[in-house]
Amino acid sequence: MKHQTIRGKILYTSKKPGREGQERGREYFTFTKHGDGKRTMRAICEIEEPEPTVLRDITYSLDENDMPMDCFVRLTIGDEFMGAGLFRMAPDAIECESFGPSLGRVSQRLEIKGGYDGFGTHPIAGDAYITKKMDRSRGPHKRDFRCFVPSPDHRGATPPLLAEARIQLEYVGEETVTVAAGTFDCFRYRFTDDHAGMATTNGAHPDYDVWVTADDDAIFVQGGVGGYMQTWYELVEFSRS
């Protein structure tokens, strides 16, 4: 085959008092890199804690400029089907066809009206990849990020429907990090929700630090969310072929 494949596994653990280091889920991801610069990410995310459990299947494609082309989302919550949605990105709009027991069938078209940074798919591997939109030549700095998401819920555990989210992303600097999958030169970033652009019943999204490989593949290495979530994520398996 002419494409390159990147595979990995991310372990989800807890930092909550009494649960420190306990496994709470996992994510299996694959990136397919094509010769024309386009990529497709596939991810299976399993969240066991807190209840209800979340099983998320994602297939997400980007063009040669790392802008979203299309995304398929399928959600099973508490071991019951919640919904499936197909999102297609046009030059001036994003379209969605979604179905779920609580929704029926829904068709959406959301006019973009201006530039945006990407599509927030909710897998941890996708959180890392979108950091490529930061201009590191400016040095450590912070800016607003305009994204669209298939769910504004912090775990992505609502039926797939279009929503806009404005968050902030900070480039912190460079660090070398050792995890179960190896030692990596990394860029460190921090997602914040200064203006409550992703606020839910739990409030604004807590600060979220991520360490991402210092190369064009932007692979998630480690990271964690504070606040009420108290989670940690680590790359435990990794390969390129």
Continuous segment of H or E residues that includes residue 197? none
Residue 87 contacts residue 96 (beta carbons within 8 Å): yes
Neighbouring CB atoms inside 10 A of 177's CB total 17
pLDDT, one tens digit per residue, over 89-137 is 998 999 999 999 999 999 999 999 999 999 999 999 999 999 999 999 9
Of 94-98, 218-222, 225-229, least confident by mean pLDDT is: 225-229
Residue 83 contacts residue 151 (beta carbons within 8 Å): no
Q: What residue type is assigned to position 183 of the chain?
A: T
Check residue 167 and give its pLDDT: 92
Mean pLDDT of 63-86: 97
Check residue 202 and give its pLDDT: 81
Assign 52 a pLDDT band (cuts: 50, 70, 90): very high
pTM over 0.75: yes
How far apart (Å, rounded) are the C-alpha atoms in residues 218 and 131? 8
Assign 63 a pLDDT band (cuts: 50, 70, 90): very high
Q: For the chain, what is the domain count?
A: 1
CATH of the domain at 158: 2.40.360
38: domain range?
A: 4-240
DSSP state of 125: H
Check residue 199 and give its pLDDT: 67
Q: Which residues, in sequence order, are CB contacts of 98 under 8 Å at separation 6+?
A: 83, 84, 85, 86, 105, 106, 107, 108, 159, 160, 161
Continuous segment of H or E residues that includes residue 43? strand 39-47
